[in-house]
């Protein structure tokens, strides 16, 4: 009989919250234990199997195999599907040796004393990053990169169908208001990306939370709504299925699009002139990791240029490791604007953290935009 299933489904769908609450033990509500602000740097030595926590399919499986063979340890994998769910698992007390937070989340975790200290001089391959990408020597999210090592970089731009909208667009965020693409334009379903896009267009600070600015952003978005087909973070699938002719898109997803498209030449990617938000993912070791030494060796192993190239060819994201730039250039040869340059990084268009009140003000504005009044 199907009836019990109904109540379960209602339970899940009607109140996703109940499910989420069940998944996270009550310790999520306790104040995090006060920790020393600076811990001793992790030593690179094998101290057990590697418990790995990342987005699904973000590392070439042969790279894992190589690590397991070389160091004689196992890699125990689990995946998250958003930074928020990663945080929920960490807050619940789950122990992982290595995680891959975005820059914004590194800052949050560092402030909360949730990450081990990493001394770059203990990593043989660290100079490949820090000697060539000076930006990462002291990034905004983690002073002196003391708790994180950069993994990948990406920017947000516009992808479009050249066969429907033409070979070139005007090169600005206002391209989203395209008459021909009306009803086939998508924005990312991401609060920071949508608010950030409008902030750049209106000349505001990327992370603005001012009442007047948010009001203007909501107003301006109202004029984009009639053009929109949807809010979706499934950018390359929407383009591949033909539902989207124009899509606010993460540069990293262009590689997936190119690899899966029957005819890749009908797609274009532009980095709008008002600026593109830049983001980076990192390697970090949670403070409660049981095998931090193995994790540190894993980072060093991952930074070997041959492994970086394998991963670039597997996920299609550029990585700030000297000598591997060519591998990425090859993938996006037809979309030069996907490349994240040192100059892009220096422009400082990062999504940063703010007080809870300001974050909630931004969230309320985004909800208003999504609902549409």
Q: Which residues form the interface with other proteins (CB under 8 A)?
A: 2-3, 6, 9-11, 13-18, 20-22, 28-29, 32, 82, 84-85, 87, 91, 108-109, 111-112, 183-184, 189-191, 225, 228-231, 241-243, 353, 355-356, 359-360, 363-364, 367-368, 370-373
Smallest gap from residue 49 Cβ to other proteins (A): 28
Smallest gap from residue 229 Cβ to other proteins (A): 5
Smallest gap from residue 311 Cβ to other proteins (A): 26
10 vs 45 by CB, closer to other proteins: 10
343 vs 373 by CB, closer to other proteins: 373
Nearest to 255 by CA among 212, 170, 313: 313
- Alpha-carbon span 162 to 364, nearest angstrom: 35
95 vs 359 by CB, closer to other proteins: 359
Smallest gap from residue 176 Cβ to other proteins (A): 13
- Alpha-carbon span 358 to 92, nearest angstrom: 25
75 vs 246 by CB, closer to other proteins: 246
| Consecutive H or E run containing 239 | helix 235-241
- Alpha-carbon span 150 to 237, nearest angstrom: 28
DSSP state for residue 138 in the 8-state scheme? S
Query: Is the CB of residue 122 less than 8 Å from the CB of residue 371?
Result: no
43 vs 84 by CB, closer to other proteins: 84
Smallest gap from residue 16 Cβ to other proteins (A): 5
9 vs 45 by CB, closer to other proteins: 9
132 vs 358 by CB, closer to other proteins: 358
DSSP-derived 3-state class of residue 99? strand
Pair of tokens at residue 80: 């998250």
In degrees and rounded to multiples of 5, residue 244 shows phi and psi of: -110, 135
In degrees and rounded to multiples of 5, residue 71 shows phi and psi of: -105, -5
Smallest gap from residue 355 Cβ to other proteins (A): 8
DSSP states of 140-189: TTSGGGSSEEEEEEEEEEEEEEHHHH-S---SSGGGGS-STTTTSEEE-S
Residue 136: Cβ-neighbour burial (10 angstroms; 0-12, 13-18, 19+): buried
Q: How many residues does the chain have?
A: 373
Smallest gap from residue 143 Cβ to other proteins (A): 18
């Amino acid at each position: 009989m199907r009836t019990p299933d109904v109540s379960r489904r209602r339970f899940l769908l009607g109140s996703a919250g109940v499910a989420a609450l069940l998944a996270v033990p009550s310790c999520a509500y306790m104040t995090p234990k006060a920790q020393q602000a600076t811990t001793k740097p992790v030593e690179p030595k094998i101290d057990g199997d590697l418990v790995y926590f990342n987005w699904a399919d973000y590392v070439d499986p042969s790279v894992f195999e190589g690590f397991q063979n070389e160091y004689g340890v196992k890699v125990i994998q689990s995946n998250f599907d958003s930074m928020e769910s990663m945080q929920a698992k960490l807050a619940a007390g789950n122990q992982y040796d290595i995680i891959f937070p975005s820059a914004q989340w590194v800052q949050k975790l560092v402030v909360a004393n949730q990450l081990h200290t990493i001394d770059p001089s203990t990593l043989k391959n660290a100079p490949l990053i820090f000697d060539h990408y000076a930006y990462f020597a002291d990034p905004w999210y983690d002073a002196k990169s003391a708790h994180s090592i950069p993994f990948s970089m990406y920017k947000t731009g516009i992808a479009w169908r050249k066969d429907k909208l033409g070979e070139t667009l005007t090169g600005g965020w206002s391209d989203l208001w395209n008459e021909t693409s009306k009803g086939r334009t998508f924005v990312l379903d991401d609060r920071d990306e949508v608010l950030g896009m409008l902030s750049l267009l209106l000349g505001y600070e990327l992370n603005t939370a001012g009442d007047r600015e948010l009001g203007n952003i909501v107003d301006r978005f109202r004029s984009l709504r009639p053009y929109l087909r949807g809010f979706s973070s499934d950018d390359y699938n929407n383009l591949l299925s033909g539902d989207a002719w124009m899509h606010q898109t993460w540069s990293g997803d262009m590689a997936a699009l190119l690899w899966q498209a029957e005819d890749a030449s009908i797609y274009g990617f532009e980095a709008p002139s008002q600026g593109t938000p830049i983001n980076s993912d990192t390697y970090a070791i949670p403070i409660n990791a049981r095998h931090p030494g193995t994790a540190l060796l894993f980072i060093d192993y991952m930074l070997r240029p041959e492994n970086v190239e394998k991963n670039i060819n597997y996920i299609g994201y550029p990585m700030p490791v000297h000598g591997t730039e060519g591998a990425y250039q090859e993938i996006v040869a037809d979309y030069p604007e996907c490349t994240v340059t040192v100059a892009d990084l220096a422009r400082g268009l990062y999504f940063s953290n703010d007080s809870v009140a300001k974050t909630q003000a931004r969230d309320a504005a985004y909800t208003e935009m999504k609902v549409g009044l």
